[in-house]
Structure 1
Amino acid sequence: MVTPSRITLARKRRGLTLAELSQLAGVSLQSLSNYETGRTAPRRTTVERLAGALGFPGGFFTGPEIDELPADGISWRARSKTPARTLDAARAAGTLAALLYDWIEERFRLPVADIPSLGKPDPETAAEMVRTTWGLGSSPAPNMVHLLEAHGIRVFSLAPDYAEVDAFAVWRGRTPFVFLNTMKSAERSRFDAAHELGHLVMHGSDRECVGPEAERQANDFASAFLMPASSVLGHMPAGAHVDQILKGKAIWNVSAMALTYRMHDLGLLTDWQYRSACTELSQRGYRKAEPDGMKKRETSQVLTKVFQGLRSTGMKPAAVAAELGLTPDEMNKMLFGLTMTMVDGGGQRAALEPRRALSLVP
């Protein structure tokens, strides 16, 4: 039996309108509308045409109902500039990643969410409180993906085919998710991870989480979380030159622009010094990239350990994709840049030990 919500999700994942899918699959627009609303069910041959047009295995469409990630719980950084269908596609990709998480959670014990609920403090105070709660003090933040995972946040990558979409975070029930754009520099991905943590901490389901003000708050949280005031004031001189900024950014593994902004925010750079530093950094290529930046991207320990554990039982990643009704390529996009595990062909289902615990470190 075909599940209507799965047709809709697959269509959104590919960024298609009903009219566009109708043309691609050779199925009437009215029929497609009926299939997605559940008024009628497609025949087997029609499902095959839809599967071919959407690039999903036919078995995907007969799985259980799927609840998409809540649209009203996501703060998109460039919503006004990004087409709605692109945002829908990114949310659909996130929903598929959540299905993978459900599959993993049935077999492995993952950390319980440990996100402080702080009322409505200012971003600087919120960052300090989370650092204190998590025992970070004023030391440079460790691997951000590991840190989020150790505190129960499920981290996946955004599909590379929607590189224009920034990272986003969302609560799915009591489980927090963060989706990172891994096409950026390693330093900017760290900032994105801290930015989305800010949303989870400051903009829960009962608080406003959209709009420019929420984005400013999340940016300020990320800046304070990654570069504690006492640490920056202790390491960086007032009026630092660009070469000093480039040397100093390695202390916190942040971008040169992020450190420059933080120094200006803390009064270490005057307005003129800040503008001059930004201009010079831009001329040196630091506006959109990070020359001579971090050597390695921060990756997921949860996903890496899960797939290593599965391989030890004889279950290959491609078999996991098959159980989810996905292609290996689709599942790879959830893991892109977060794990060295790549989905290779074949693989048989193996008997798994019940809910093995993963040993995680921040």
Structure 2
Amino acid sequence: MLGRRLKLARTAAGLSLRELETKIGNIVSAQAIGKYERNEMMPGSKVLAAIAEALGVSENYLTAQPDISLEGIEFRRNRITSKREEAQVEAAVMSFLEKYLEIETILQVPSLEWEEPRQSLLYVADIVEGELAAKTLREQWNLGTDPILGLAEFLEEKGIKVLSLELPASVSGLTCLVRRLNGNCVPVIVINTLDMGERQRFTLAHEIGHMVLTVDQNVDEEKAAHRFAGAFLMPAELLRAEIGVHRKSLSLGELLVLKKMLGVSVQAITYRCKDLGIINQATYRALFEIFAKKGWRTPPYNEPDPIPKEAPQRFKRLCFRALAEDAICEAKAAELLGMTVRRLNQEMETDC
């Protein structure tokens, strides 16, 4: 029904009914738009075209029948979020996922099967057991103890859809399941495209923790996922081999070298060293005082030597493939990718 799609697109655009009324030149009232969303009225072709243009979607998108729903949405918040912010994020995720699944359908490419780990091995009865769970998952996925480069791409190969979207500053990421009409569920992790690369990578690892851990009711799930993320990105064996088992101090230069190798922030490395007992609480506090004085503890967390941002590319590759195989036209590819036809042609030429 048009109503649900219209409300979804309007929420994703962050517009109120009155703001949308203004954006379409007041050709209909906010009350009328509300009736469209409740399926009490249907807009004429002129109004539908104006609304679609104002919301940056096609008329076909507004009139198509949705075949997915989101379940089990869990936000990773930096601070308290408003209901409007959460609704806006959910709408943006839904909109992107519909495009992702549409291009898979056009190419008749099935979603990659989620390689779900054996849950019995990832039960956590204590926060520290997040350490063992991370090691177990690395073993199941044959990762050894090496740093994981291109984490988003790796997770997509494991059947997790990774989306990089512009989220409110209050949200680092989220996990959810997308259910199709046929009943199949696909796991999804969303990261904030505005975050630094090191923060995106930790968010990805943290959200994997939420997806794979079975946490005892007496355990703080956030802390367990945090411990899991640290261990998943920075295996204890690797860190101890690089800096030793016990240290009285760590220099900023050494931490920055480790940052480049592991793809995580200096602060995450320091926290991990404290968890592993490599440094004591006093050394940990002293280092964090230095980080605070340098401004690394406050947004936008501008540490030196930023890590490249995670950039999941599977959706984009599928769109380029569909265009190259004449399965879609340039206008459709541009619509799916959210860019102009001119920009699309530039990127296609760059990739040749």
Name the TM tier (shorter chain).
Answer: 0.7 to 0.9
Tell me if 1:297 matches 2:309: yes
Instruction: Mark the CA change 1:240 to 1:311 in structure 2 (over 3 Å): closer, same or farther.
Output: farther
SS of structure 1 residue aligned to 2:240: helix
Return the match for 1:306 from 318, 324, 346.
318
User: Counterparts of 1:1-362 in structure 2 under 5 Å?
Assistant: 3-25=2-24, 26=26, 27-65=28-66, 67-70=68-71, 73-78=72-77, 81-106=80-105, 107=107, 108-119=109-120, 120-121=123-124, 122-159=129-166, 162-173=168-179, 174-202=185-213, 213-237=220-244, 238-243=247-252, 244-287=254-297, 288-294=301-307, 296-313=308-325, 318-322=331-335, 328=339, 343-344=344-345
Q: Relative to structure 2, which stretch is displaced further, 25-34 or 81-90?
A: 25-34
Task: Work out the CA distance in 1 between the residues paired with 2:163 and 2:76.
Answer: 18
Deviation at 1:102, TM superposition (A): 0.9
Instruction: Note the alpha carbon deviations across 1:50-96, whole angstroms, 9 max, x for none.
Output: 234433333321111354423xx122222762222122111111111
8 A Cα contact 1:68 1:92, kept in partner? no
Segment drifting more, 3-12 vs 312-321: 312-321
**Cα distance change, pair 151–21 in 1 and its aligned pair in 2 (3 A):** same
Question: Matched residues in 1 for 2:151 and 2:200: separation?
Answer: 9
Structure-1 separation of matches of 2:150 and 2:62: 38
For 1:343, the aligned partner's letter is L
User: Offset at 1:142?
Assistant: 3.2
Aligned 8 A contact 2:9 2:95 in 1: no
Give the match's secondary structure for 2:95. Answer: helix
Counterpart Cα distance in 2 of 1:215 and 1:33: 38
Alpha-carbon distance between aligned partners in 1 of 2:10 and 2:284, rounded to the nearest angstrom: 46
Q: TM-score, normalised by structure 2?
A: 0.81
Amino acid paired to 1:280: I
Residue aligning to 2:182: none
CA distance in 2, matches of 1:263, 1:316: 52
Contact 1:167 1:181 in 2 (8 A): yes
* Structure 1 SS opposite 2:176: strand
- Residue 243 of structure 2 aligns to which amino acid in structure 1? M
Q: Distance in 1 between matches of 2:165 and 2:285?
A: 33
Tell me if structure 2 keeps the 8 A contact 1:138–1:228: yes
- RMSD value, Cα: 3.0
Amino acid in the other structure paired with 1:69: L
How many Å separate the matches in 1 of 2:214 and 2:46?
Answer: 46
Quote the Cα distance in structure 2 between the aligned partners of 1:270 and 1:282: 19
**Contact 1:57–1:327, Cα closer than 8 Å, also in 2:** no
CA 117–79 in structure 1, closer or farther in 2 if over 3 Å, else same: farther
Task: State TM-score, norm by structure 1.
Answer: 0.79
1: CA distance between counterparts of 2:211 and 2:7?
28
3-state SS of paired residue (1:250): helix
1:316–1:290: structure 2 CA closer, same or farther, 3 Å change rule?
farther
Q: Percent of pairs identical after alignment?
A: 30
Q: Is the 1:68–1:91 Cα contact (8 Å) retained in structure 2?
A: no
Q: Secondary structure at the match of 1:167?
A: strand
Q: Check conservation: 2:270, 2:284, Cα contact below 8 A.
A: yes
Gaps of 5+ in 2: 180-184
Listed one character per residue, the Cα deviations across residues 215-259 of structure 1 (whole Å, up to 9, x for unaligned) are 322222111100112222222232332322222233322110000
8 Å Cα contact 1:316/1:343 also seen in 2: no
Deviations 1:284-313 (A, max 9, x none): 34330231233x434334235324423533
**Which amino acid in 2 is paired with 1:247?**
V
Distance in 2, matches of 1:124 and 1:137, equals 15
Residue 155 of structure 1 aligns to a residue whose secondary structure is strand
Q: Distance in 1 between matches of 2:191 and 2:324?
A: 28
* Structure 2 counterpart of 1:259, one-letter code: I
Measure, in 1, the Cα distance between the counterparts of 2:84 and 2:343: 28
Distance, in Å, in 2 between the alignment partners of 1:138 and 1:268 is: 18
Deviation at 1:260? Answer: 0.4
Report SS of the residue matched to 1:104.
helix
Matches of 2:78 and 2:303, distance apart in 1 = 25
**Partner SS, residue 176 of structure 1:** strand
